[in-house]
Amino acid sequence: MRELGCDGVPKPFERVVRANIGDCHALGQKPITFIRQVQALAACPALASSAAVPEDVRQRAQEILDDCTKSSVGAYSPSAGLQVVRARVAQFLSARDGVRACADDIYLGSGASDVIKAVLTMFVQDVDGKPPAVMIPIPQYPLFSGTLAELGLRQAEYFLAEEQQWALDVDELQRCWSRASQDCAVRALVVINPGNPTGQVLTRENMEQIVKFAYEHNLFLLADEVYQENIVSKPFFSFKKVMHEMGAPYSSMELASFVTCSKGWAAECGQRAGFVELRAAAAAPAFRVARAVMQCPNVLGQCILDCVMQRPAPGDPSYPQFAQELSDIRQVLAERTQTAYETFNSIPGYFCNPIDGSMFAYPRVSIPEAAQAAARELHMSPDEFYCLRLLEETGVCVIPGTGFGQLPGTFHFRTTILHPRDEFQHMMDSIRRFHHDFLQRYS
Amino acid sequence: MRELGCDGVPKPFERVVRANIGDCHALGQKPITFIRQVQALAACPALASSAAVPEDVRQRAQEILDDCTKSSVGAYSPSAGLQVVRARVAQFLSARDGVRACADDIYLGSGASDVIKAVLTMFVQDVDGKPPAVMIPIPQYPLFSGTLAELGLRQAEYFLAEEQQWALDVDELQRCWSRASQDCAVRALVVINPGNPTGQVLTRENMEQIVKFAYEHNLFLLADEVYQENIVSKPFFSFKKVMHEMGAPYSSMELASFVTCSKGWAAECGQRAGFVELRAAAAAPAFRVARAVMQCPNVLGQCILDCVMQRPAPGDPSYPQFAQELSDIRQVLAERTQTAYETFNSIPGYFCNPIDGSMFAYPRVSIPEAAQAAARELHMSPDEFYCLRLLEETGVCVIPGTGFGQLPGTFHFRTTILHPRDEFQHMMDSIRRFHHDFLQRYS
Ligand SMILES: Cc1ncc(COP(=O)(O)O)c(C=O)c1O
Ligand SMILES: Cc1ncc(COP(=O)(O)O)c(C=O)c1O
């Protein structure tokens, strides 16, 4: 699709707008200076004598290097990650949840993808002759379906309730579980909160229902909480906090929760840094062995995680610049989220739930019967047809709902919303105009 | 084992000498300045204006950034790696082998471990109802046994011929294959050259035999060539070059060859950068899809690979320092290799093959019957018992042969040999003294 603009044939648009990938830096967000300075000094400590960097940057880099064997980021770290970083993660989680987190439960990875795959690998064994299955939401982030397929795990799909702001409906969870249980052993439940592609933040009440459901069905809960720092207006409750506050027996349930530096304000996708907090006493030893085979996550990525877990504080030399950069990023997120929500709902035939967080919108689009027929002719789903036309006519590249899943008969696409203001406005205008023309053509 | 020195009980040695892990920086090798400067500038381009770095460093960092989306190492790269880096890899391979390499065959990974696992994953399917098996050497680097176990692949073990300088004996390959073929479909053959833990470089003649064997049995060849830059005195021939020069039908065989920045003169273990050159037209599309699910390898690691593939050249501002650093590293390797070989062979009851390369020695030790009996009492293998005693009495920490595999009835250990000269001499003296006392006690 990206090559569409480059084949020499004149196009009815000036440029391709890539709205297909959740990568803030690729959309022009500037890296956080503090993070990059710490990384640079950790890579090349000799620069400290010649480069203009604040004192807290030097200190932070030194603290990390002190925990590297022979002070080199080129030495393997422990396979779960540097102790100093894991301690900082534990502090962050403790402060976030008001529940003590333990550094021994933290395993750093090469992005969240790496540790998500590692945790899913825990479930590959048959149970009493039944093949294992994992419950995942529809729509979902395709890492889950892709990894389950690669690992030979069955995928049990539950639909998010679009009419209830993409909540998890317990009857639907039950339906999914019962059906999958006919021929599989359902081992785990994946919840993505805040949602990708859906952008909702679950209510606390809904989270409690989910925890109870998982408890009753003896499911291991995988909480993909990578967008927790991308929330605009609601508070974020982690599953760990909710479980803890629900008390026994829920407070001691098994749980894997995922965080990544690819998201949030750092948005350092290319640097591959994330972690899982794994509360699973029985499974931990085998998990540790499997992680050790792969050596360790990249140490400069671990530096970023360290910076994200403990940011510059008021009074630190780096604080003023950091605070400014952070507030700029937050403002962009708040603005785009609001504008996307309003714009999509103002287009006839579009429906979009409130976007609580993440960096996506996932509007539902009604596609006229004539267009659906045209799609069938081309052996495409209607949403694929719609998105391809959108790309060909406007240069706006979004992902059809088919890529994430949707209730049969409904059509969606996912767009990232973090473009610079002009680009974003151009994209919104293009979509509106395109949809208007599309309706005219096919009705 | 590492905690041994810290339990408060007085020990008969001053310090623990870690010789158990192939990690040069952890043993005190200094990072290459050029590499780290490029990384620092790629992470934090603003430093270019204040830091004292040579012009070729700036240029290199800029070339890499020009290939990153919006010039940020924080944007996801293509999942196979940045185009500029893969092109540089292809150039390096073409020059090394005198055979044109293609950037499309190069897939960067988070260390070689990552891509080795990814390639092994290609073989998980049953063939005609038979479970798949992979042939691996004994002794082997445990990544292979560990990954095969995790993926549910059978491991078919062939013994390296210690009496023939750890060559691969075709009769032994045949024995291994025939036996495994009784109940498995043997899919692939792993060869580690130069060897870990064994340190040999295969002769060209032996490589040709191996290629023919793989061809006749329709085996996919996995060439772990990660120590190719750690060779002291022999030339290195890649399997790709040998296959090419053998002509048809061998020149078009499938092959995966692995390289990593953890080894060689860069020795940037903690930075997780490596690649596979995968020549396998049929399997490539599925491989590409599986890699894409995991997003991309860390971009600052990709920078290192770029520097390793194209080093500073005579005339470049960084060249004099680079050349000095490189020659220091090479000299340490050459010295230690020679000294280890001579020392081990001068200890009564020790035998050690010439060490052609890698960074290890794997001497064979005869263990008196009385000591073997003492080991059995403790439910240990004799080599484990020997290494534990060595650790307890001298502080020298090496890995018993049991960890890599060995012909039944023979006993070995693996030691890294890249310590600073004094430390290395201290280690060698400790081992010699220990062995003398050990023999006295148990004979
Ligand atoms: C819901 C969700 N989980 C996990 C990830 C994995 O991110 P990474 O591997 O870059 O940390 C992503 C990335 O987009 C995501 O959207
Ligand atoms: C033979 C061999 N192959 C592969 C590796 C993997 O190294 P890495 O994942 O650090 O690139 C090693 C590391 O020691 C090795 O010795």
Same domain, B179 and B127: yes
Phi, psi of B84 (to 5 degrees): -60, -40
Q: Which two tokens stand for residue A418?
A: 């973090």
**Is B272–A39 a contact, with Cβ atoms under 8 angstroms apart?**
no
Q: Above 60 in pLDDT, residue A406?
A: yes
Q: What is the structure's pLDDT at B342? A: 96
Q: Which of B253, B287, B309 is the last residue of a domain?
A: B309
Does one domain contain both B421 and B369? yes
Q: What is the pTM of this model?
A: 0.95
> pLDDT of B136-194, one tens digit each?
999 999 999 999 998 889 999 999 999 999 999 999 999 999 999 999 999 999 999 99
Q: How far is CA B122 from CA A333, B256, B279, in A?
A: 41, 11, 13
Which range has the worst mean pLDDT, A82-91, A404-413, B123-132, B345-354? B123-132
B8: confidence class by pLDDT, cuts 50, 70, 90? low
In this predicted structure, what is the pLDDT of residue A7?
56
Q: What is the per-residue DSSP string for A277-336?
A: EEE-TTTHHHHHHHHHHT----HHHHHHHHHHHS---TTSTTHHHHHHHHHHHHHHHHHH
Phi then psi dihedrals of residue A319, to 5 deg: -60, -50
Report the CATH number at residue B335: 3.90.1150.10
- Are A206 and A344 in the same domain? no
> Do both B195 and B128 map to the same domain?
yes
Separation CA A370–CA B255 (nearest Å): 50
User: Cβ separation of A299 and B270 shorter than 8 Å?
Assistant: yes
A10: pLDDT strictly greater than 80: no
**Of A75-79, A122-126, B219-223, where does mean pLDDT reach its minimum?**
A122-126
Whether residues A125 and A194 share a domain: the answer is: yes
**Burial degree of A157 (CB within 10 A; 0-12, 13-18, 19+):** middle
Distance of alpha carbon A129 from the chain centroid: 34
Model confidence band, residue B392 (pLDDT cutoffs 50, 70, 90): very high
pLDDT band at B49 (very low <50, low <70, confident <90, very high): confident
Mean pLDDT of A280-298: 94
User: A231 and A327 in one domain?
Assistant: no
Q: What is the pLDDT of residue A162?
A: 98
CB B136 within 8 A of CB B144: yes
Asked if residue B287 lies in contact with residue B280, where contact means CB atoms within 8 angstroms, the answer is: yes
Q: Give the domain extent around B337.
A: 17-28+322-442
Report yes or no: A302 and A79 within 8 Å, Cβ to Cβ: no
Among A309, A344, A362, residue at a domain's last position: A309
Contact indicator for A81, A273 with CB cutoff of 8 Å: no
Mean per-residue pLDDT of chain A: 95
Length of chain A: 443
> What is chain B's mean pLDDT, rounded?
95
CA A110 to the chain's CA centroid = 14
If asked whether residues B301 and B326 sit together in one domain, one would say no
Which tokens sit at B77?
A: 């790269």
Q: What band does A233 get if pLDDT is binned at 50, 70 and 90?
A: confident
Collect all residues with Cβ–Cβ distance below 8 Å to B399 and sequence separation of at least 6: B20, B197, B387, B413, B414, B415
**In whole angstroms, what is the distance from residue B291 CA to residue B235 CA?**
33
Residues of A with CB below 8 A from B76's CB?
Answer: 21, 23, 26, 262, 269-270
Nearest to B143 among A146, A293, A301 (CB): A293
Q: Are residues A255 and A123 in the same domain?
A: yes
pLDDT-based confidence at B1, cuts 50/70/90? very low
Name the 3-class secondary structure at A167.
strand
Helix residue ranges per DSSP H, B82-182: 83-97, 111-121, 143-151, 170-181
For position A50, what pLDDT does the model report? 80
Q: How far apart are CA B89 and CA A331, in angstroms?
A: 42
- Same domain? For A263 and A381 the reply is no
Q: What is the mean pLDDT of residues A426-434?
A: 97
Query: Is residue A49 in some structural domain?
Result: no
Domain limit, last residue, from A309, A337, A370: A309
Residues of A in contact with B43 (CB under 8 A): 36, 39-40, 43, 300
Backbone angles phi, psi at A200, to 5 degrees: -85, 155
Size of interface A-B (CB pairs under 8 A): 192
What is this model's ipTM?
0.94
Would the pLDDT of B5 be above 50? Answer: no
Per residue in A300-359, pLDDT (tens digit) is 999 999 999 999 999 999 999 999 999 999 999 999 999 999 999 999 999 999 999 889
Q: How many Å apart are CA B267 and CA A272, to the nearest integer?
A: 20
Give dist(CA B122, CA B255) in Å, integer.
13
Same domain, B199 and B273: yes
| Tokens encoding A110 | 């090469």
What is the spatial distance between Cα A336 and Cα B392, in angstroms, rounded to a whole number? 63
Query: Ligand 2: does its nearest atom lie under 6 Å from the Cβ of B300?
Result: no
- Which of B47, B271, B294 faces A47 most closely, judged by CB atoms? B47
Count the domains in chain A: 2
In B, which residues are within 8 Å of A31 by CB distance?
72, 74
The arithmetic mean of pLDDT across residues A51-77, rounded, is: 96
Q: How far apart are CA A296 and CA B110, in angstroms?
A: 9
Sequence-distant (≥ 6) Cβ neighbours of residue B385 within 8 angstroms: B367, B371, B374, B375, B378
Taking the centre of ligand 1 as the mean of its atom positions, its distance from the CA of residue A203, in whole angstroms, is 22
* CB-ligand 2 contact for B141 (6 Å cutoff): yes
| Residue A335 belongs to some domain of the structure | yes
Residue A113 in domain = yes
Structure tokens at A176: 């999914």
pLDDT interval class at B267 (50, 70, 90): very high
Residue B15, pLDDT above cutoff 90: no
Give, rounded to a whole angstrom, the gap between the first and last alpha carbons of chain B.
27
Please tell me which residue of chain A has the smallest CA distance to B25. Answer: A75
Which of A44, A271, A289 faces B36 most closely, judged by CB atoms? A44
Same-domain check for residues A189 and A97: yes
DSSP class of residue B441?
Answer: H
Residue B36 lies in a domain: no
Greatest CA separation for chain B: 70
